[in-house]
Amino acid sequence: QSCDILSSAFFRYQTIIFGFREEVLKFHPKFKAGSLTELDVNVKNKCDQYPYLGMDESYNLTISSSGATLNSNSVWGALRGIETFSQLVLQRSKDMFTVNGTTIVDYPRFQHRGLLLDTSRHFLDVSIIKQNLLAMSQSKFNVFHWHIVDDQSFPYTSNNFPDMATMGAYDSKHIYTQDQIAEIIEFARILGIRVIPEFDSPGHSQSWGKSIKDLLTKCYSSGKPNGQYGPIDPSLETSYGFLSKFFAEIAKVFPDHYVHLGGDEVNFDCWKSNPNITAFMKQKDFGTDYAKLEEYYMQRLLEIVSGVKKGYMIWQEVVDNGAKVNPDTIVEVWKNGFHTELSIITFRGYKTLLSSCWYLSDISYGIDWPKYYNCDPHNFIGTAEQKKLVIGGETCMWGEYVDNTNVLSRTWPRASVVAERLWSAQNVKDANAAAPRLEEHRCRMIKRGFPAEAVNGPGYCFQEYSIHEPV
Amino acid sequence: MARTFALFHFACIVGLVFSNGEYRERETVSVTASNGMPWPMPQQYSSTSDTFTINRNAFKFRATGQSCDILSSAFFRYQTIIFGFREEVLKFHPKFKAGSLTELDVNVKNKCDQYPYLGMDESYNLTISSSGATLNSNSVWGALRGIETFSQLVLQRSKDMFTVNGTTIVDYPRFQHRGLLLDTSRHFLDVSIIKQNLLAMSQSKFNVFHWHIVDDQSFPYTSNNFPDMATMGAYDSKHIYTQDQIAEIIEFARILGIRVIPEFDSPGHSQSWGKSIKDLLTKCYSSGKPNGQYGPIDPSLETSYGFLSKFFAEIAKVFPDHYVHLGGDEVNFDCWKSNPNITAFMKQKDFGTDYAKLEEYYMQRLLEIVSGVKKGYMIWQEVVDNGAKISKEAIVEIYRNQGYMFDVYLTTQKGYRTVLQACWYLDLIKYGVQWQAFYACDPGNFNGTAEQKKLVIGGETCMWGEYVDNTNVLSRTWPRASVVAERLWSAQNVKDANAAAPRLEEHRCRMIKRGFPAEAVNGPGYCFQEYSIHEPV
């Protein structure tokens, strides 16, 4: 089978494998076994258009005197296999490369292997996002969790609510147009990467309120509004009217079945201060249990999103606080105490993702990658059924201190460590054994033009990273 | 947000101590950048609301006093820096339009020096008024500092239109020695990156590049007299600095008014030296015989000093600054203790079992050698901490974190000129807004006599290379290094971090506009013009 995704990969990898600077190594192969002139890529099933949760990413790769063959069921497996092949080929001189006899049978341990970027705390250029997607494909990541908006800024340009960006973005240049969003989704599709946008609510939504009148809760002091705003006002039908229209648009713009709805860190203080909400609590018989109000909001939201035929991911608080959510909800665990949380969430039957131990934005001095490598999503007390409900994980690069200047070097290659934890077998866990391969992976990324920083202490790459030189 | 120095030092566990929940909630405050304010803060600075317009096609710098290559080079460079970057389109209606400005008269009183040096006059004054724009300085170095300040006051309003407000500045640095250390041994740094860094330094008026060029791990310095040191000591044949490249860097720095002080650290930190120089390093012994390991330079052999003489004679010619840094830190005595020849030497010299005396002996021999080639020297603090009697000519650098202000006190009490580094370790990264701790550290903050205070000649901030290379050195160094630059240039009472934050934010965005990847240090926010990489996608 063939399709645009495969042709695109052939073209891309021709440059990746053969197109970078020449190396001059003295190399004398011990057992020269002949020359290789092609890699036969045999995709069994008709190409899918978009990647999706649970897609078949398996492949096998054989390099022998009979030739080089890559077999896969789906085009996604072919993409993964071609990346692997590209890592086995070594440059020896200007035109000469070698690869050793190899037999690989491969498939991911977890289906959902994601990286979160935050384009609200700091804007990220489209080109940087695309660079990042390319970097992701080198470690077989398959989900780009796009935390696109938040309190600080709203760079998403909505067709239905254009003022959200006009008034919510940092300024008119710090936006993503519909065309740019489509460009990113398409770029990711070609790499076999799903794009899951996160529109976090009811909290983390200050920037939404800049344009949508009465969307956010007015906070009260001494009996009157004090000018501050809180989470989305769950007591007004207009809120749900807005959300219906908004998510109907989101459902069309983003082709993946899932959207991330957030639901984390909802501060109840503003709700508590607002008399209308107090009245609403009474009307609904919630007493003084604001977790019930949060649950009410989330359930209304989830119904809306189901109504536009999307599945949803949510942060753990939503179910922690007792909300009743659909059985096919994916819950993302991000807080400390995750071993216990994983037991609880899977016990309740939800598909679960782990991100808690993989906050790349939490930088510290020294060699920090082994702690990412050692975190295993199955490291909790539970039945085999429960373990199966853990469908994968995500590593996060939150944007408070990260933007175009440093997102790539801060993310790579540390994110690749999580990629191996999520792809490779559970018993591939010896950090000392992994270190030389990580070092090579880092230097390979640099060779391919990505500023993957040093993670193992003093050292060097045969070919160091080079910037465009204006001096 | 308070940061204690202890917290700063023990950075490695901070990431695990945070609760993820807490940190995600905290970061909702961002800092709004100032507009047209200088960094570092001048000694005296006032501006008016009179706005002068400048047309990029009708502006020039004019030397009305002394002139030289350094000045011409600066005129050319700043023409691009001020006028040459991407257009901004802002709605701007000056309140008090005061006329247009077509030139900055730069009046240098004294004949240009060729090289920058310790104690050079960097003072200048700058006046922008309806009489015109004039920069006066005694030396060309002051002119450089003043032109940088001028470049920070000029704001772009449209494709061709710029403005600057009426301004009066009298400025000079509080400290003479304001340095940044880069380490090209733990990781190699390309020449282009070093030059980018020098340009970045000039934007905050740094005047010393402390080049920690070699160390245990690699020896990228290509010596004419000892070519094998790089051949066998560099990571590989590409990870070297040729003599031409070194000259290129020194020249590039000179034009920016930046001194280049190389550090050839010994007797420790020298593993890579031993790869080619036979018998230079001490052979370590186990059970009565050499065990294959090597220690610091062997201080008991005259051949060591013969090598050092020849080596530093070369260094003295290659690097024009009067000072070289000789290191002398972290000397581990274990290998010396294990070696019978050294034990014999200790006996011969009557040092008993006090290996600090052996270290002192080595350092004194080294300092004599370096004095002999007419150089001054900087050393790390251990040398004097361990009681060595060394010439008061030495400049002592305080780098140890525990009790560093007390070390500054002790060192100046002993009569040494002192440079502080201990509180400004940029490589010790951690999550969050970290710069206020750097800003708060003051080299004059100790109880000493006026004489002692005068002996503190400045400071350095360091970006050690264990985790830093071409991929991240610029973003990790800037703009945090700039915070130290202000501490070292500006007046002691310019210390309110909250007041500084908007200027730092502007300084960061300005660096980005000039093409430097200065990272975000104040939490969520944005620059009008964000950093842009070369786009291969």
Within a domain: B284: yes
Q: By residue range, what is the domain housing residue B21?
A: 1-30
Residue A190 confidence (pLDDT) above 60: yes
Query: Locate tokens 């600066």: which residue?
Result: B74
Question: Which pair of tokens denotes residue A51?
Answer: 């990647």
Q: What is the dihedral of CA A101, A107, A112, A117, to 10 degrees?
A: 0
Within a domain: B276: yes
Q: Using the beta-carbon criterion (under 8 Å), do A401 and B535 form an inter-chain contact? A: no
> Which chain B residue lies closest to A150 (C-alpha atoms)?
B28
- What ipTM was assigned to the predicted interfaces of this complex? 0.94
Same domain, B163 and B93: yes
The β-bridge partners of A40 are: A69
Q: Using the beta-carbon criterion (under 8 Å), do A121 and B523 form an inter-chain contact? A: yes
Burial grade of A336 (CB within 10 A; 0-12, 13-18, 19 or more): middle
On whether the CB atoms of residues B377 and B118 are closer than 8 A, the answer is no
Suggest the residue from A138, A153, A268, A405 to mutate for an interface test with chain B (most B CBs closer than 10 A).
Answer: A405
Neighbours of A16 (CB within 10 A): 22
Distance from CA of B518 to the nearest CA of A (A): 6
Same domain, B48 and B111: yes
Within a domain: B372: yes
Query: Locate tokens 């050793």: which residue?
Result: A100
Residue B524 confidence (pLDDT) above 80: yes
Which entry of B87, B251, B330, B466 is annotated as an active-site residue? Answer: B330
- A120 touches B at CB < 8 Å: yes
Distance from CA of B516 to the nearest CA of A (A): 8
- B515 touches A at CB < 8 Å: yes
- B499 touches A at CB < 8 Å: no
- A396 touches B at CB < 8 Å: no
On whether the CB atoms of residues B77 and B106 are closer than 8 A, the answer is no
Structure confidence at residue B13 as a pLDDT band (50, 70, 90): very low
Q: Which residue from B276, B377, B272, B275 is spatially nearest to B328, judged by alpha carbons?
A: B377
Note the pLDDT of residue B159. Answer: 83
Residue B105 confidence (pLDDT) above 60: yes
Tell me which H or E stretch contains A318: helix A317-320
Note the pLDDT of residue B22. Answer: 37
Same domain, B128 and B165: yes
What domain count does chain B have? 3
**Domain-ending residue, one of B171, B187, B207:** B171
Pick B394 or A4 by higher pLDDT: B394
Rounded CA-CA distance A380/A341 in Å is: 9
- A240 touches B at CB < 8 Å: no
Same domain, B80 and B19: no
Within a domain: B178: no
Q: What phi, psi does B126 have (nearest 5°)?
A: -135, 125
Same domain, B113 and B144: yes
**Mean pLDDT calculated for residue range B200-212:** 98
pLDDT one-digit tens code per residue, B21-65:
333 444 455 788 888 899 999 999 999 888 888 988 888 999 998
Q: How far is CA B225 from CA B303, B304, B309, B314, in A?
A: 15, 15, 11, 7
**Partners of residue B531 in chain A, C-beta under 8 Å:** 403-405
Within a domain: B9: yes
Q: Using the beta-carbon criterion (under 8 Å), do A335 and B517 form an inter-chain contact? A: no
- A181 touches B at CB < 8 Å: no
- Counting one residue from chain A and one from chain B, the pairs whose CB atoms sit within 8 A come to 188
Q: Using the beta-carbon criterion (under 8 Å), do A265 and B21 form an inter-chain contact? A: yes
Q: Using the beta-carbon criterion (under 8 Å), do A451 and B431 form an inter-chain contact? A: no
Q: Using the beta-carbon criterion (under 8 Å), do B471 and A153 form an inter-chain contact? A: no
Whether the bond into A202 is cis, omega within 30 of 0? yes
What number of CA atoms fall less than 13 Å from residue B320's CA on the CB side? Answer: 15
Structure confidence at residue B1 as a pLDDT band (50, 70, 90): very low
Mean pLDDT value across chain A: 94
Structure confidence at residue A21 as a pLDDT band (50, 70, 90): low
Question: Which pair of tokens denotes residue A282?
Answer: 């009474």
**Whole-structure pTM over 0.90, yes or no?**
yes
On whether the CB atoms of residues A454 and A409 are closer than 8 A, the answer is no
Q: Using the beta-carbon criterion (under 8 Å), do A364 and B23 form an inter-chain contact? A: no
Distance from CA of B455 to the nearest CA of A (A): 33
Rounded CA-CA distance B225/B306 in Å is: 13
Closest CB from A152, A403, A464 relative to B469: A464
> Which chain A residue lies closest to B236 (C-alpha atoms)?
A462
What residues contact residue A248 under an 8 Å CB cut-off, 6+ apart? A308
* A4-13, A99-108, A143-152, B280-289: range with lowest mean pLDDT: A4-13
**Partners of residue A356 in chain B, C-beta under 8 Å:** 20
**Mean pLDDT calculated for residue range A280-309:** 95
On whether the CB atoms of residues B483 and B423 are closer than 8 A, the answer is no
Scanning B456-475 for CB atoms below 8 A from A yields 465-472, 475
What is the percent of chain B where pLDDT is above 90?
A: 80
Provide the total of helices (H) and of strands (E) in chain B, helices listed first: 19, 18
Instruction: Let me know if B314 is a catalytic residue.
Output: no
Within a domain: B336: yes
Scanning B286-315 for CB atoms below 8 A from A yields none
**Mean pLDDT calculated for residue range B128-144:** 96
- B14 touches A at CB < 8 Å: yes
Q: Using the beta-carbon criterion (under 8 Å), do B187 and A458 form an inter-chain contact? A: yes
Same domain, B9 and B67: no
Note the pLDDT of residue A20. Answer: 67
On whether the CB atoms of residues A286 and A235 are closer than 8 A, the answer is no
Strand duo A112-118 + A102-106: pairing: unpaired
Neighbours of B58 (CB within 10 A): 12
Find the CATH number of the domain harbouring B86: 3.30.379.10
Q: Using the beta-carbon criterion (under 8 Å), do A264 and B195 form an inter-chain contact? A: no
Helix A75-88 to helix A126-138 angle, to the nearest 10 degrees? 80
Rounded CA-CA distance A192/A142 in Å is: 6
Q: Is B119 left (phi over 0), alpha (psi -120 to 50) or beta?
A: left
**Domain-ending residue, one of B171, B193, B221:** B171
Give the type of residue at B38: P
Neighbours of B162 (CB within 10 A): 19
**Mean pLDDT calculated for residue range B364-372:** 95
What residues contact residue B498 under an 8 Å CB cut-off, 6+ apart? none
What is the percent of chain A where pLDDT is above 70?
A: 97
Neighbours of B453 (CB within 10 A): 15
Residue A49 confidence (pLDDT) above 90: yes
Give DSSP secondary structure letters for A232-283.
Answer: E-TT-HHHHHHHHHHHHHHHHH--SSEEE--------HHHHH-HHHHHHHHH
Note the pLDDT of residue A468. Answer: 58
Task: Look at residue A102 and give its three-state secondary structure.
Answer: strand
Quick one: DSSP state of residue A36? Answer: -
Q: CA geometry: angle at A66 spanning A63 and A69, to 5°?
A: 45
Closest CB from A120, A127, A366 relative to B537: A127
Rounded CA-CA distance A139/A373 in Å is: 14
Residue B423 confidence (pLDDT) above 80: yes
What residues contact residue B44 under an 8 Å CB cut-off, 6+ apart? B168, B169, B170, B171
Question: Which pair of tokens denotes residue B42?
Answer: 């001048």
Residue B88 confidence (pLDDT) above 60: no
**Mean pLDDT calculated for residue range B205-222:** 98
Same domain, B14 and B66: no
Give the type of residue at B418: T
**Domain-ending residue, one of B122, B147, B171:** B171
Within a domain: B443: no
What residues contact residue B371 under an 8 Å CB cut-off, 6+ apart? B377, B391, B393
> Which chain B residue lies closest to A315 (C-alpha atoms)?
B21
Note the pLDDT of residue A441. Answer: 96
Same domain, B99 and B125: yes
Note the pLDDT of residue A446. Answer: 96
Same domain, B144 and B52: yes
Within a domain: B313: yes
On whether the CB atoms of residues B356 and B384 are closer than 8 A, the answer is no
What residues contact residue B154 under an 8 Å CB cut-off, 6+ apart? B36, B54, B82, B162, B163, B164
Across B96-203, the runs of DSSP E, i.e. the strands, are 96-100, 103-108, 124-129, 132-137, 155-156, 161-171, 177-183
Q: Is A337 left (phi over 0), alpha (psi -120 to 50) or beta?
A: left
Suggest the residue from A180, A335, A460 to mutate for an interface test with chain B (most B CBs closer than 10 A).
Answer: A460
On whether the CB atoms of residues B329 and B268 are closer than 8 A, the answer is yes
- A205 touches B at CB < 8 Å: no
Distance from CA of B106 to the nearest CA of A (A): 25
Same domain, B101 and B22: no
Neighbours of B344 (CB within 10 A): 11
> Which chain B residue lies closest to A130 (C-alpha atoms)?
B537
Same domain, B307 and B353: yes
Same domain, B60 and B105: yes
**Partners of residue B248 in chain A, C-beta under 8 Å:** none
**Mean pLDDT calculated for residue range A224-239:** 97
Note the pLDDT of residue A279. Answer: 97
